[in-house]
Chain A
Amino acid sequence: MRYSGFRLIKEVLTGHKGWTPAWRDAEPKPHYDIIVIGGGGHGLATAYYLAKVFGKSNVAVLEKGWIGGGNVGRNTTIIRSNYLLDGNEPFYEFSMKLWEGLEQDFNYNAMVSQRGVLNLCHTDGQRDAFTRRGNAMRLHGVDAELLDQEGVRKIAPFLNFDNARFPIKGGLLQPRGGTARHDAVAWGYARGADSRGVDIIQNCAVTGFRIQNGKCLGVETTRGFIGANRVGCAVAGWSGSVMAMAGMRLPIESHVLQAFVSEGLKPLLPGVITFGAGHFYVSQSDKGGLVFGGDIDGYNSYAQRGNLPVVEDVCEGGMALMPMIGRARLLRMWGGIMDMSMDGSPIIDRTDIDGLYFNGGWCYGGFKATPASGWCFAHLLANDAPHPVSTAYRLDRFRTGRMIDEKGAGAQPNLH
C-alpha cells in the first residue's frame, strides 16, 4: 500500500479500516542468498538497499527481539555531517544526502527536519578547531557557517553567554543538519524492504555460526539453522558477543549511553544545540519535549540502563548552557549500548571468514549514519567490494596503523 494524502483522507472518511500491516511477519526459509543479522536501523537499511539498489531480494533480516527495539529506538535522533577527517566526511555527507531524499524514496514519513545543528565554542582554541573543521567540510562540498557571538545570539538568545567558566564565543553551524523520527526510520526501511521481498524475521536470535573450512555456511538460531551464501552482522552494541561466536575478537568495547526527554514545552529550541565545553546536546521534539544526552557512562556495559552520576553530569551541562530549563521536569530516560571502537570510527568490512561480513563500531554516531551505512554494507554484501565512501572503514586498520581518530583520543574507547 502506498501512503499519500489522498489515501489518508480516504481512510479518515472510512473509519481507518483499510490500513494493513506495514510488513509481514515472515517465517524463516531454509536458505537465503544473504542474511543480515540485526533488525535495527542499519540492518533494515542494508536489506532495503540490497533489494532496491542491488537487486537482491532473497534476503532475510534476523532480529532477536522486535525490529527497532535496539539503538535505533534509543538515541537522540540527530542527523549531521560535520566531520573533519577524509575517511569520515564523504561518508557522512553521503548519508546526509540520503536523509534529504529518504521519505520520497521509501514513501514513509520519517519526519526528517533540517533545523540546523549548532556546535558552540567557548575558547579561542576551540574556535580555531571549529574553523578548521568548517573549512574541511566546505572543501568536501558540505555546508558550514562559522558564527561569532552575535551570530549565535540571533539564533539562540536564551543561552548563558556570560557563564564565568564557559562563555560562549561563537559556534559552528551546519544548517542542513537536524533531526529525524528514529522509529519511523526503522519502520520505513522495514516496510520498504518487506515490500521488495525481504523476509524480516523477528524473535529469532542468532546462537552461532556454521563455519566449515573457513567459509560461513549460515547461522544457527533459536528457530533452527538458516543457510546463506553471505552473512552480514549489523548488531551494533552486541557486535562483540555475536562476532565472538565466530571466534573473532574485535577492536570494540560495549558501553551504555543514556538519553533523556523532558516534559512537553512550548516551541523553544530552533534546532540542535551542542555545548562544546561539557558534551551536552539538545533538541526539541515535535511533541515539545527536550531530547538531550551527554557522555557514555564510561565502563563496559550491556545493561540497557545507566547509572545516576551521569544523569547528574548531563543535567549540569544542560543547566550551564540554558539555566532556564532548571524547572523543566525530566519525563524519562533510557540507555542504548554503544560499540565503542578503539579510534572512535566505524567498521564496514569483510572478515577473514569467507562469506562473513561485519558492520559495527558506530560509537555515538550510528543514527545519523543509518542510510549510508545500509547502502555501503549492501554494496559490500552484494558486490564483495567496498563502496567508495567507506573504503577507510577497514577491520585491519588498527594493525596497519590507518586509524581514523576523529577525536584524537587514541586507543581508549571510553574517551571517544
Chain B
Amino acid sequence: MIINHPLLGPRDSQEFVYLGDASLIGRPDWQASDAQQQFYEYLYLRDNPAGLHRELWFHEQGDRSWLVVTRNTLTHEITSVELARDVARALGRDI
C-alpha cells in the first residue's frame, strides 16, 4: 500500500507503524466522574467497520509524524491522508 503523506508525498506503508482506530486521538478526561467507564471504552472497544476506516499511522522511518489515514478495510484503498495534528486541532485540542 502507498500512503500519500501530506508533506512528503507518496510513501510505502512499510515505513509506517500502525496504531489503530483514529478515535484514539480523543483520549477521555481522567477527572470525569465516569472516567473509568470512558477509559474502558476508549482502550478496549472498537467500531471495527467493514468499509471506510479512519486510522492512525506513525511515520517511524520517515519524519515521525502521526497521520490519520482513511482506508477501505474491504479493498485496502486509501482515500484520504491527513496530519493527525490537524485532526486533533479541528477537534478542539491545543497540542
Which A positions have Cβ atoms within 8 angstroms of B?
Answer: 238, 240-241, 244, 249-254, 298-303, 307, 309, 342, 398-399, 411-414
Known: A300-B20, A300-B71, A302-B74. 11 other contacts (CB 8 A): A244-B47, A252-B48, A298-B18, A299-B55, A300-B53, A300-B55, A303-B73, A303-B76, A307-B76, A309-B14, A412-B20
Q: Of A240, A302, A399, which contacts B46 at CB under 8 A? A: A240
B28–chain A nearest beta-carbon distance, Å: 14
Q: Of A249, A253, A254, A301, which contacts B41 at CB under 8 A? A: A249
Chain B contacts for A413, CB-based, 8 A: 20
B62 at the interface (CB under 8 A from A): no
Chain B, residues 12-38, CB within 8 Å of chain A (1/0): the string is: 011000101100000000000000000
Query: Given A299-B18, A399-B40, A414-B20, are A240 and B76 also a contact pair (CB < 8 Å)?
Result: no
Chain B contacts for A241, CB-based, 8 A: 48-50
Which B positions have Cβ atoms within 8 angstroms of A?
Answer: 1, 13-14, 18, 20-21, 40-41, 43-50, 53, 55, 71, 73-76
Q: Of A249, A302, A303, A398, which contacts B47 at CB under 8 A? A: A249
Docked-complex contact B50 and A302, CB < 8 angstroms? yes
The secondary structure that dominates the B interface is: mixed
Q: Of B43, B48, B71, B76, which contacts A254 at CB under 8 A? A: B48
Chain B contacts for A251, CB-based, 8 A: 44-46
Docked-complex contact B47 and A254, CB < 8 angstroms? no
B80–chain A nearest beta-carbon distance, Å: 16
A-B contact pairs, 9 of them (CB 8 A): A249-B46, A249-B48, A251-B45, A253-B46, A300-B73, A301-B73, A302-B73, A398-B43, A399-B40
Query: Given A253-B20, A309-B14, are A240 and B44 also a contact pair (CB < 8 Å)?
Result: no
In chain B, what residue has the closest Cβ to A298? B18
Task: Please measure, in the bound complex, the distance between the C-alpha atom of A301 and the C-alpha atom of B49, giving whole angstroms.
Answer: 9
Docked-complex contact A300 and B14, CB < 8 angstroms? no
Docked-complex contact B44 and A342, CB < 8 angstroms? yes
Docked-complex contact B55 and A398, CB < 8 angstroms? no
Chain A contacts for B50, CB-based, 8 A: 238, 240-241, 254, 302
Chain B contacts for A302, CB-based, 8 A: 50, 73-74
